[in-house]
Amino acid sequence: MKLSIVKAYVLKELSEIVRSRLIVMVYLMPTMVLVLFGYGIRMEVTGARTLIIDYDQSHYSRLLIEKFTHSKYFTVQKELRLESEALDAIHRAQSDVVVIIPESFEKRLLHGQKIQIGVFVDAAFPMRGSTIESYVKGVVLNAASAIQERRLDRDAHTIAINQRTLFNQAMRDEDAIVPGLIGLVLLIAPAILAALLIVKEKEKGTIFNFYASALSKAEFIAAKLIPVFFLHSINIFILFLWATYWFDVPFRGSFWLYWVASELYLVISLSIGMLISIVTRTQIVAVVLTVIVTIIPGFLYSGILMPISSMVGFSRYEAHIFPVMYYNHILYDVFLVGEGLASEKTQFYLFILAFYGLFLMGLGSLILKKELR
Amino acid sequence: MRVFWTVVARELVRFIRSWQLVLVVLYAFTMEVYIAGSGIELKPRNVAIGYVDESGGGLSQKLLHYFHEPEFLPPVAFNSQTALSQAVFDKEIVLGLIFDEDFEQDFRKNKHATLNVLLDATAASQAYTTLSYLSNIVLNFSDTAFSVELVTHKLFNENANNATFMALTELLSITTMLSVILTAVVFVKEKEDGTWDIMLLMPVNAKSIILAKSFSQVIIVMIGIVISVGFVVFGAFDTPIHGSFFAFLVLAFLYAFTGAGIGLFVAAIAKDVMQVAQLSVVIMLPLIFLSGAWTPIYAMHPWLQTLSLLSPLRYFIEGTESIFFRGTPVLELYPYFLGVFGVGSILYLIGFRKIGHLF
Amino acid sequence: MRLEVRDVSVFHKNRLGIAHANFEANEGEIIGFIGADGAGKSSLIHAIAGVIACQGEIVFDHHTYRSCKEAEPLKARIGLMPQGIGLVLYDLLTVDEHLRFFADIHDLRRDDAFEAYKMRLLQMAGLEKFKDRQAGKLSGGMMQKLSLICTLLHRPKLLVLDEPTTGVDPLSRIELWEILEEIRRSEGTICLISTAYMQEAAKMDKILLFDEQKIIAQGTSAELLKTVESLCYDPDTPCVEPCIRTLQTLYTLSPLEATSTQTPTLEALFFVNALRNGKTMPPIVLSDKKKSDFEGDVLMDAKGLTKRFGTFVANDNVDICLKKGEILGLLGANGAGKTTFIKMLLGLYPIDRGELRLLGKTIETPQDRQALKASIGYVSQHFALYNDMSVQENLLYFASMRGLSSETANERIKRYAQELGFENYLNALPPELPLGINQRFSLASALLHEPVILFLDEPTSGVDAIARAQFWELLKCLKEKWKIAILITTHYMSEAEFCDRVVLMRQGTKIADDTIEGFYAKHPKARNFEEIFLEYFR
Quick: pLDDT tens for A212-254: 888 888 888 888 899 999 999 999 999 999 999 988 888 888 8
Provide the number of CB pairs (under 8 Å) joining chain A to chain B.
Answer: 383
Q: Does C380 touch chain B (CB under 8 A)?
A: yes
For residue C80, count CB atoms less than 10 angstroms from its CB and return exposed for 0-12, middle for 13-18, buried for 19 or more: buried
Name the residue ranges covered by the structural domains of chain C. Answer: 2-212, 221-276, 298-537
Indicate if the pLDDT at residue B263 is higher than 60.
yes
The Cα C9–Cα C57 span in angstroms is 9
The Cα B264–Cα B191 span in angstroms is 12
Strands C453-457 and C485-489: parallel
Provide the number of CB pairs (under 8 Å) joining chain B to chain C.
Answer: 60
Which of B185, B158, B167, B296 is CA-nearest to residue B225? B167
Give the distance from CA B243 to its chain's centroid.
20
Closest CA of chain A from B92, distance in Å = 9
Name the residue ranges covered by the structural domains of chain B. Answer: 2-40+160-356, 49-142
**Chain B (193-222) residues lying within 8 Å, Cβ to Cβ, of chain C:** 193-195, 197-204
Domain C298-537 CATH class label: alpha beta
pLDDT tier for residue C160 given thresholds of 50, 70 and 90: very high
Q: What are phi and psi of C462, to 5 degrees?
A: 75, 5
Indicate if the pLDDT at residue C206 is higher than 90.
yes
The Cα C440–Cα C453 span in angstroms is 18
Name the residue ranges covered by the structural domains of chain A. Answer: 3-41+171-367, 48-152
Indicate if the pLDDT at residue C97 is higher than 60.
yes
CB A174 within 8 A of CB A248: yes
Average pLDDT in the B3-16 region? 88
Predicted local distance difference test score (pLDDT) of residue C291? 59
Indicate if the pLDDT at residue A153 is higher than 50.
yes
Name the CATH superfamily housing domain A48-152: abc type-2 transporter like domain (3.40.1710.10)
Average pLDDT in the B241-259 region? 87
Indicate if the pLDDT at residue A88 is higher than 80.
no
Question: What beta strand segments (E) does B29-183 contain?
Answer: 49-53, 76-77, 95-99, 112-120, 148-155
| Beta-carbon separation of B118 and A164 below 8 A | yes
Task: Give pLDDT tens digits for C33-58.
Answer: 998 888 899 999 999 998 999 999 99
Which of C52, C48, C84, C278 is CA-nearest to residue C167? C84
CB B99 within 8 A of CB B60: yes
Task: Give pLDDT tens digits for C404-434.
Answer: 888 988 988 888 888 877 888 888 888 888 8
Task: Give pLDDT tens digits for C370-382.
Answer: 888 888 889 887 7
Task: Give pLDDT tens digits for B297-339.
Answer: 766 777 777 888 888 888 888 888 788 877 777 777 787 888 8
* A297-306, B76-85, C241-250, C432-441: the lowest-pLDDT one: A297-306
Closest CA of chain C from A270, distance in Å = 22
Highest mean pLDDT among A291-300, A354-363, C124-133, C379-388: A354-363
Residues of A in contact with B160 (CB under 8 A): 123, 126, 129-130
State chain B's mean pLDDT as an integer: 79
User: What DSSP designation does C253 have?
Assistant: S
* Distances, alpha carbon C397 to alpha carbons A60, B26, B172, B339, in Å: 78, 27, 34, 36
Nearest CB to A311: which of B40, B118, B124?
Answer: B40
- Characterize B142-166 residue by residue with b for buried, 16 or more Cβ atoms within 10 angstroms of its Cβ, and e for exposed: bbeebebebebebbbbeebbbbbbb
The subunits that touch chain B, with at least 3 C-beta pairs less than 8 Å apart, are A, C
Predicted local distance difference test score (pLDDT) of residue C198? 86
Residue type, position B286, single letter: P
Predicted local distance difference test score (pLDDT) of residue C290? 59
Asked if omega into B70 is within 30° of 0 (cis), the reply is yes
DSSP string, B225-253: HHHIIIIIIIIIT-----S-HHHHHHHHH
The Cα C456–Cα C463 span in angstroms is 14
* A104-118, B85-99, B132-146, C519-533: the lowest-pLDDT one: B132-146
Which of A154, A247, A178 is CA-nearest to residue A37? A178
CATH topology of domain C2-212: Rossmann fold (3.40.50)
Strands C78-81 and C158-162: parallel
Task: Give pLDDT tens digits for B44-56.
Answer: 667 788 888 887 7
Task: Give pLDDT tens digits for B178-196.
Answer: 999 999 988 888 887 778 7
The vertex-C76 CA angle with C72 and C80, nearest 5°, equals 90
Q: Does A42 touch chain B (CB under 8 A)?
A: yes
Residue type, position A90, single letter: I
CATH code at B49-142: 3.40.1710.10
| Beta-carbon separation of C382 and B194 below 8 A | yes
| Beta-carbon separation of A208 and C82 below 8 A | yes
The Cα A98–Cα A76 span in angstroms is 10
Percentage of chain C modeled with pLDDT above 70: 98
Strands C327-332 and C501-506: parallel
Indicate if the pLDDT at residue A323 is higher than 50.
yes
Give the distance from CA C449 to its chain's centroid.
24
| Beta-carbon separation of B6 and C397 below 8 A | yes
Predicted local distance difference test score (pLDDT) of residue A41? 67
Which of C292, C320, C323 is CA-nearest to residue C306? C320
The subunits that touch chain C, with at least 3 C-beta pairs less than 8 Å apart, are A, B
DSSP string, C115-133: HHHHHHHHHHHT-GGGTTS
Q: Is B211 or B41 the better-scoring residue by pLDDT?
A: B211
Q: How many CB atoms lie within 10 A of CB C362?
A: 10
Task: Give pLDDT tens digits for C280-291.
Answer: 777 777 776 655
Which of A63, A42, A40 is CA-nearest to residue A52? A63
* Distances, alpha carbon B3 to alpha carbons B6, B7, B203, B249, in Å: 5, 6, 10, 26
The Cα C52–Cα A370 span in angstroms is 9
The Cα A294–Cα B285 span in angstroms is 12
Whole-complex ipTM:
0.81
Predicted local distance difference test score (pLDDT) of residue A163? 58
Determine which of B30, B98, B122, B301 to mutate to test the interface with A (most A C-beta atoms within 10 Å).
B122
Residues of B in contact with A131 (CB under 8 A): 128-129, 132
Q: Checking phi first, is residue C310 left (phi over 0); if not, alpha (psi -120 to 50) or beta? A: left
* Distances, alpha carbon B242 to alpha carbons B222, B323, B328, B330, in Å: 21, 6, 8, 11
For residue C66, count CB atoms less than 10 angstroms from its CB and return exposed for 0-12, middle for 13-18, buried for 19 or more: middle
| Beta-carbon separation of C51 and A372 below 8 A | yes
The Cα C318–Cα C339 span in angstroms is 13
Reduced to 3 states, what is the DSSP secondary structure of residue A196?
Answer: helix
* Distances, alpha carbon C312 to alpha carbons B329, C308, C330, C507, in Å: 64, 6, 21, 10
Indicate if the pLDDT at residue A164 is higher than 70.
no
Predicted local distance difference test score (pLDDT) of residue C489? 93
Percentage of chain B modeled with pLDDT above 70: 84
Reduced to 3 states, what is the DSSP secondary structure of residue C106?
Answer: coil
Closest CA of chain A from C19, distance in Å = 18
Q: What are phi and psi of A180, to 5 degrees?
A: -60, -35
The vertex-A121 CA angle with A118 and A122, nearest 5°, equals 155
Residues linked to residue C83 through DSSP beta bridges, in sequence order = none
pLDDT tier for residue C12 given thresholds of 50, 70 and 90: confident
The Cα B285–Cα B173 span in angstroms is 10
For residue C76, count CB atoms less than 10 angstroms from its CB and return exposed for 0-12, middle for 13-18, buried for 19 or more: middle
The Cα C346–Cα C355 span in angstroms is 13
pLDDT tier for residue B222 given thresholds of 50, 70 and 90: very high
Nearest CB to C84: which of A205, A209, A216?
Answer: A205
Which of A199, A270, A265 is CA-nearest to residue A229? A270
State chain C's mean pLDDT as an integer: 87
Indicate if the pLDDT at residue B358 is higher than 50.
no
Give the distance from CA C122 to its chain's centroid.
22
Reduced to 3 states, what is the DSSP secondary structure of residue C517?
Answer: helix
pLDDT tier for residue A140 given thresholds of 50, 70 and 90: confident
Q: Is B97 or A165 the better-scoring residue by pLDDT?
A: B97
| Beta-carbon separation of B2 and C403 below 8 A | yes
Indicate if the pLDDT at residue B208 is higher than 80.
yes
| A170 contacts: CB under 8 Å, gap ≥ 6 | none
The Cα C503–Cα C516 span in angstroms is 10
Q: How many CB atoms lie within 10 A of CB B17?
A: 13
The Cα B211–Cα B189 span in angstroms is 16
Task: Give pLDDT tens digits for A23-81.
Answer: 888 898 889 888 887 777 666 667 788 888 888 888 888 888 888 888 777 888 777 67
Task: Give pLDDT tens digits for C210-238.
Answer: 988 999 989 999 998 888 888 888 888 88
Total H helices, total E strands in chain C = 18, 23
Residues linked to residue C502 through DSSP beta bridges, in sequence order = C329, C514
Indicate if the pLDDT at residue B26 is higher than 90.
yes
Indicate if the pLDDT at residue B153 is higher than 50.
yes
pLDDT tier for residue B359 given thresholds of 50, 70 and 90: very low
State chain A's mean pLDDT as an integer: 81
